[in-house]
């Protein structure tokens, strides 16, 4: 993990602010994502992009009515796109949400089944990303620049290791991890690029089976650690090399709806339906010890939290934002360094 700036990072209750919205977020997991000063979230069959600090909201101009399952910014370094996960497929949009760049359908395995896309992640330091679907499959895509269309996307392969719907995907430290609705995880090593084709080889490393089968809705990878938030309110830390759970925290009294990593500061935020937002200082490898410190906690009355994200606004200030079901504001905290 890169060294953080001098002094520990926390968030002050006195610095809590609000960012107004015209459309309240839906009650779905991980319902807030950000890149730069842009934030995006789902509202029913709409996706809203808001520029933080400005009274500017954009609703993605879908041609037809869609059923949205989630949104996430995918940052490749040379371009950042907004992925929209839906029933029967996914779309990629420009950062500000003005233009659709790509659409990929996902077909059900039989006529009697419906299929939806949920969970997506860039493979860290590579021009590839993955999306998951309700059949338990993951699909890999290679992105490159196109002079005619701006973005060229190629579906390279599909992987099926899960027996239930994919709930989230994360990447980091040379690993890719996927979670499903039964609380199971599959971990892959990201190997050297193939000599031809330009895409990476992902080899299955291990499968982690949940003992109690609580659904896992949100995961992050940092170093050799997998951080997972469960519907039981537990936050677990797994060694990606061995699959061992080396820390388990009773983090919330209700379902954890979102987990978000601030890798630079070595922090992870958890949002829950219990109206509590927590920020934890975490080790980036099991060898750093098993201590996980709670650095900040906030009870937000009448807020059923659905998402949390970190961003840097147009003035260079670091913020933490949380979304809530049926609320017309995003709660905002300013980062404090002592």
| Residue 312: CATH number of its domain | 2.130.10.10
Q: Is residue 310 part of a domain?
A: yes
Question: Rounded to a whole number, what is the distance in angstroms from the first to the last CA of the chain?
Answer: 21
Identify the pLDDT of residue 295. Answer: 93
Q: Is residue 148 part of a domain?
A: yes
Q: Is residue 41 part of a domain?
A: no
Identify whether the C-beta of residue 58 lies closer than 8 Å to the C-beta of residue 23. Answer: no
Identify the pLDDT of residue 286. Answer: 86
Q: Is residue 60 part of a domain?
A: no
**What domain range is 231 assigned to?**
11-23+116-337
Identify whether the C-beta of residue 122 lies closer than 8 Å to the C-beta of residue 128. Answer: yes
| Rounded distance between C-alpha atoms, residue 80 and residue 294, angstroms | 32
Identify the pLDDT of residue 288. Answer: 65
Identify whether the C-beta of residue 154 lies closer than 8 Å to the C-beta of residue 142. Answer: yes
Identify the pLDDT of residue 316. Answer: 77
Question: In whole angstroms, how far apart are CA 148 and each of 61, 145, 199, 335?
Answer: 22, 9, 22, 41
Q: Is residue 170 part of a domain?
A: yes
Low-confidence residues of the chain, pLDDT below 70?
A: 1-7, 13-17, 109-112, 192-201, 288-289, 314
| Rounded distance between C-alpha atoms, residue 121 and residue 132, angstroms | 9
At 295, list the tokens.
């650095």
pTM to 2 decimals? 0.91
Based on the structure, what is the number of domains in the chain? 1
Q: Is residue 260 part of a domain?
A: yes
| Rounded distance between C-alpha atoms, residue 266 and residue 327, angstroms | 29
Q: Is residue 46 part of a domain?
A: no
Which is it for the CA torsion 37, 41, 46, 52, positive or negative?
negative
At 308, list the tokens.
């949390």
Q: Is residue 137 part of a domain?
A: yes
Strand partners, 256: 272
Identify the pLDDT of residue 278. Answer: 97
* Those residues with Cβ within 8 angstroms of residue 144's Cβ, 6 or more apart along the chain or in another chain: 127, 151, 152, 154, 198
Strand partners, 171: 176
Question: In whole angstroms, how far apart are CA 153 and each of 144, 146, 160?
Answer: 7, 9, 21
């Amino acid at each position: 993990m890169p060294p953080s700036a001098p002094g520990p990072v926390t968030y002050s209750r006195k610095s809590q602010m609000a960012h107004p919205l015209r459309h309240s977020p839906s009650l779905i997991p991980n319902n807030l994502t950000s890149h730069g000063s842009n934030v995006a979230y789902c509202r029913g069959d709409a996706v809203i992009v808001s520029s933080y600090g400005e009274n500017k909201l954009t609703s993605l101009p879908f041609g037809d009515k869609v059923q949205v399952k989630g949104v996430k910014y995918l940052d490749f370094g040379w371009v950042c796109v907004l992925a929209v996960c839906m029933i029967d497929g996914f779309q990629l949009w420009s950062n500000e949400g003005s233009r659709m760049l790509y659409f990929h359908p996902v077909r059900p395995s039989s006529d009697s089944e419906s299929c939806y896309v949920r969970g997506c992640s860039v493979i860290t330091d590579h021009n590839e990303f993955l999306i998951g679907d309700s059949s338990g499959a993951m699909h890999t895509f290679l992105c490159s620049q196109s002079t005619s269309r701006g973005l060229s996307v190629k579906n390279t392969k599909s992987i099926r290791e899960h027996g239930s719907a994919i709930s989230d995907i994360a990447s980091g430290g040379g690993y890719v991890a996927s979670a499903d609705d039964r609380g199971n995880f599959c971990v892959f090593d990201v190997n050297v690029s193939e000599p031809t084709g330009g895409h990476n080889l992902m080899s299955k490393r291990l499968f982690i089976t949940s003992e109690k089968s609580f659904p896992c809705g949100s995961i992050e990878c940092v170093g050799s650690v997998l951080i997972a938030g469960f519907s039981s309110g537990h936050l677990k830390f797994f060694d990606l090399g061995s699959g061992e759970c080396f820390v388990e925290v009773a983090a919330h009294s209700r379902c954890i709806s979102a987990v978000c990593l601030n890798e630079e500061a070595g922090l992870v935020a958890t949002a829950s339906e219990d109206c509590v937002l927590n920020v934890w200082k975490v080790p980036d490898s099991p060898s750093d010890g098993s201590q996980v410190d709670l650095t900040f906690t906030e009870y937000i009355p009448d807020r059923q939290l659905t998402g949390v994200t970190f961003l840097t606004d147009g003035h260079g200030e670091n913020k933490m934002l949380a979304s809530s079901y049926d609320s017309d504001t995003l709660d905002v905290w300013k980062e404090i360094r002592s």
